[in-house]
Amino acid sequence: MKITNFYTIVALSLNMALFAQKGLPIKVNDFNIKPLTSFSNVTLQKSLELELRANPEWNKLIANKKMSVGIVDLSNPNQIRFASVNGNHMMYAASLPKIAILLAAMDAIEKGEFKETEAVKKDMKIMISKSDNDAATRMIDRVGYKKIESVMTNPKYMFYDENKGGGLWVGKRYGGDGATHREPIKNLSHAASVNQVCRYYYLLAHGKLVNEKRSKQMLDIMGNPDLHHKFVSTLDKIAPNAYLFRKSGSWQTYHSDSILVWGNDPNRRYILVALIDDASGEQIIRDLVKPIEKALKRKARTNLIV
């Protein structure tokens, strides 16, 4: 075994052990894994809307369906709370849907559809951590559009659901020519909705993407992001010791970010997703974190939306 490979394996093992020590994946009985909408919470929904609509610019973007935000409160594993604005509104999401490639690849590897070589491991890592387009394109070519679609529409996940506005989709290589396979509702090549991305992170946090082993591997790939912009830029300042697992994307006026924040303080454990179509989207995403954390702190009482 090469020395570099040895240290890679050691680092991966240490990271997985660290996640386990910190409570990831979250351990709950399978019957507690429910549709995310079953955790919809009146108090959190009102708090989220209050914080967002207090900003006139954000309020206008929300009204025009150019801004979508979703949050999942994980501070109490036995009392998860969920809220979103424009949650089922699918938008172009640039590089964020690379998480769909990652899941499809893990599913294919687990089923023996292609081998998990060192080159594949490296491409999966830099496709997420550095948002490397060449690596993403190589992974698309390995996995194939049909495989990505089959995993996104698998009844186990339903991350793309035509009856709920669509969701996660990858139907075009990143930075390369070739055939396309666009989603059927809006003809988008790289799409997402905040509700479906929140569900992705919810299942990942509970070890339910493929299986616990692959979920831990995905957490390792998505952890310690190399790009310190958008959500991460703010969290670096206000929560420098929190563990961050994320994927973002930007193209022209489209800006997106998604993150699982896992703080040492259980009160700072949540999922946050934002999709914005505006030239100021990057700064808006940076500015979102503090109001979102403020909304999460309002826990007067728990009311579930039936």
pLDDT for 12 equals 46
Six-digit token pair at 187?
Answer: 């003809």
pLDDT for 19 equals 53
Rg (CA), the chain: 18
Contact predicate 90/165, CB 8 Å: yes
**What phi-psi label fits residue 221: left (phi over 0), alpha (psi between -120 and 50 degrees) or beta?**
alpha
Sign for the CA dihedral angle at 124, 129, 135, 137 comes to positive
Give one DSSP letter per residue of 195-212, joined into a string: HHHHHHHHHHHTT-SS-H
Mean pLDDT of 283-301: 90
- In the predicted structure, residue 304 carries a pLDDT above the cut 70: no
pLDDT for 298 equals 83
Instruction: For residue range 22-74, list pLDDT tens digits in order.
Output: 789 999 888 899 999 999 999 999 999 999 999 999 999 999 999 999 999 99
- In the predicted structure, residue 5 carries a pLDDT above the cut 70: no
Residue in this structure with the two tokens 């800006």, named with its chain if needed: 255
Contact predicate 257/68, CB 8 Å: no
Six-digit token pair at 243?
Answer: 């563990």
Q: Report the amino acid identity of residue 242.
A: A
pLDDT for 174 equals 96
- Residue 42 CB contacts under 8 Å (≥ 6 apart), including other chains: 303, 304, 305
- In the predicted structure, residue 4 carries a pLDDT above the cut 60: no
- % pLDDT > 70, the chain: 91
**Measured between alpha carbons, how far is 248 from 234 in angstroms, rounded to an integer?**
14
**Measured between alpha carbons, how far is 230 from 298 in angstroms, rounded to an integer?**
24
**pTM of the complete model:** 0.92
User: At 49, is the secondary structure helix, strand, or coil?
Assistant: helix
Mean pLDDT of 291-304: 74
Residue 110: count of CB within 10 angstroms of its CB: 14
- In the predicted structure, residue 13 carries a pLDDT above the cut 90: no
Instruction: For residue range 123-158, list pLDDT tens digits in order.
Output: 999 999 999 999 999 999 999 999 999 999 999 999
Mean pLDDT of 201-214: 98
Q: Report the amino acid identity of residue 219.
A: L
Mean pLDDT of 211-237: 96
Mode of pairing for the β-strands spanning 67-73 and 254-262: unpaired
- In the predicted structure, residue 301 carries a pLDDT above the cut 90: no
